[in-house]
Amino acid sequence: MRTQVAIIGAGPAGLFLGHLLARAGIDAVVLERRTRDYVEGRVRAGVLEQGTVALMAELGLDARLRDEGLVHTGTNIGYDGEIFRVDMAALTGGSAVTVYGQQEVMRDLFDAAEERGVRIVFEAEDLVLEDIAGSSPSVRYVRHGEAHHLACDYVAACDGFHGVGRGAIPADVLKVFERVYPFGWLGILAEVPPVNHELIYANHERGFALASMRSPSRSRYYVQVGLDERIEDWSDDRFWDELALRLGPQAAAGLVRGPSFEKSIAPLRSFVAEPMRYGALFLAGDAAHIVPPTGAKGMNLAVSDVRILAEALVRHYRDRDPAGLDGYSARALARVWKAERFSWWFTGLTHRFPDMDPFARRMQVAELAYIRGSQAAQTVLAENYVGLPLA
């Protein structure tokens, strides 16, 4: 079998790229190790930047998003038991974010795949890349016990942090930059109305808490926990008590409790791999970079990567112009690093670090108080949160 672009991974990066290439008439095959149900079932991101919403609209895949997505023009920050609002729309000339789960995005992309000519091969296992630095790159994989060979011009590794793409770049070429945080997020989903109509990011002496949602009747909450915490030790009652304490009395007064139907712990990490291109191989999304979830950037970065990559591939195939592909890594990384900085900064501002002394704690509170009183500081937060331009 032969194709122009082999896409590894049917997460947000791989599927958006598949749709963008299909629209441009570029032949591509998406190879996914898991089943559709597995990929769609993963509870992950919840907040879409304006650029991500715009791409859904551009692809004509936004019918449900327009109907069910919750547009948020502001966000809220809590500390010392009080909460202040950052009016993102007023500070950014009208920009907003939309709460619409990654699971919903994936469902919309999968549902439209067949009619748009996006070819997806599920349960493609034991994938190996061949000759990515040479003139005849290809991908080998096994499906239901049968070996397959897919020859291609290019490989887009959209295979997440634990994929095989990044590992195909030689060690003397690949540079890795990393911070592992000494805590994780314990998250739950519950069929109860959200405590507030907008998100609340809370800094509390006991640790960070986040009040989010998936719909007017479904809440998504997170609390910062130590890396040694076990999910079994967190009963629903313990979670609700801790969340209420950290959100503070003002917010917690309206907290509706109920049984959780999803509960998991995610570690926090900042990670960037450079370059994002090696020969015929292009990395996109979590395959190349990870952000701590505080800034809600992970999926949005995957989307901006593949926008840049699709544009470059179209330029190559339509205009025979290699400039886009040659500039892909630098252009994508420029935006990635800014989102890395924002996510790292917002994590530092809102979390409790084990080595924090009273001075460090006072610095956090002083910065929060400064942001509360400064339109300039709120503008910096707002323009990063709604998403920086592609440039």
- State which residue, 143 or 361, has the beta carbon closest to ligand FAD: 143
β-pair partners for 2: 151
294 sits near ligand DHB (criterion: CB under 6 A): yes
Q: Of ligand FAD, ligand DHB, none, which one does residue 242 interact with (CB within 5 to 8 Å by kind)?
A: none
> 143-162: which residues touch ligand DHB (CB under 6 A)?
none
Residue type, 87: D
3-state helix, strand, coil in the chain (%, to 5): 40, 30, 30
Q: Which of 297, 316, 328, 351 is catalytic?
A: 297
Residue 45 DSSP SS3: coil
Q: Which of 155, 68, 85 is nearest to 375 (CA)?
A: 85
- State which residue, 46 or 324, has the beta carbon closest to ligand FAD: 46
Out of 129, 296, 309, 313, name the contact with ligand DHB by CB under 6 A.
Answer: 296
- State which residue, 102 or 347, has the beta carbon closest to ligand FAD: 102
- Whether residue 216 lies in the annotated active site: no
Q: Which of 100, 201, 278, 328 is catalytic?
A: 201
Q: Of ligand DHB, ligand FAD, none, which one does residue 14 interact with (CB within 5 to 8 Å by kind)?
A: ligand FAD
Q: Of ligand DHB, ligand FAD, none, which one does residue 194 interact with (CB within 5 to 8 Å by kind)?
A: none
220 sits near ligand DHB (criterion: CB under 6 A): yes
Q: Of ligand FAD, ligand DHB, none, which one does residue 294 interact with (CB within 5 to 8 Å by kind)?
A: ligand DHB
Binding mask 45-84 for ligand DHB (x = CB under 6 A): -xx-------------------------------------
Nearest approach, Cβ of residue 272 and ligand DHB (Å): 18
Q: How far apart are CA 292 and CA 102, in angstroms?
A: 16
- Whether residue 162 lies in the annotated active site: no
363-366 contact pairs (CB < 8 A, 24+): 364/79, 364/203, 365/79, 365/80, 365/203
- The 8-class DSSP code of residue 227 comes to T
Of all residues in the shown chain, the one whose CB is closest to ligand DHB is 46
Nearest approach, Cβ of residue 52 and ligand FAD (Å): 8
- Whether residue 141 lies in the annotated active site: no
Judged by the rule CB under 6 A, the positions of this chain that interact with ligand FAD are 8-14, 31-34, 39, 44-47, 102, 124, 127, 158-160, 163-164, 187, 266, 285-286, 293, 296-300, 302
- State which residue, 137 or 285, has the beta carbon closest to ligand DHB: 285
- State which residue, 18 or 298, has the beta carbon closest to ligand DHB: 298
Q: How far apart are CA 374 and CA 371, in angstroms?
A: 5
- The 8-class DSSP code of residue 132 comes to T
93: left (phi over 0), alpha (psi -120 to 50) or beta: left
335-339 contact pairs (CB < 8 A, 24+): 335/301, 335/304, 335/388, 335/390, 335/391, 336/272, 336/288, 336/289, 336/301, 336/305, 337/272, 338/384, 338/388, 339/291, 339/295, 339/297, 339/300, 339/301, 339/384, 339/388
How far the first Cα of the chain sits from its last, in Å, is 37
Element counts in the chain: helices (H) and strands (E): 12, 20
- State which residue, 21 or 302, has the beta carbon closest to ligand FAD: 302
Q: How far apart are CA 193 and CA 78, in angstroms?
A: 20
- State which residue, 10 or 276, has the beta carbon closest to ligand FAD: 10
Taking each helix axis as running N to C, give the angle between helix 323-350 and helix 358-373, from 0 to 180 degrees, rounded to the nearest 10.
110
- The 8-class DSSP code of residue 2 comes to B
Q: How far apart are CA 336 and CA 61, in angstroms?
A: 25
- Whether residue 292 lies in the annotated active site: no
Nearest approach, Cβ of residue 172 and ligand DHB (Å): 35
Q: Of ligand DHB, ligand FAD, none, which one does residue 102 interact with (CB within 5 to 8 Å by kind)?
A: ligand FAD
Q: How far apart are CA 44 and CA 47, in angstroms?
A: 10
Q: Of ligand FAD, ligand DHB, none, which one does residue 302 interact with (CB within 5 to 8 Å by kind)?
A: ligand FAD
- Whether residue 293 lies in the annotated active site: yes
- Catalytic site positions: 72, 201, 293, 297, 385
Which residues contact ligand DHB (rule: CB under 6 A)?
Answer: 46-47, 199, 210, 212, 220, 293-294, 296
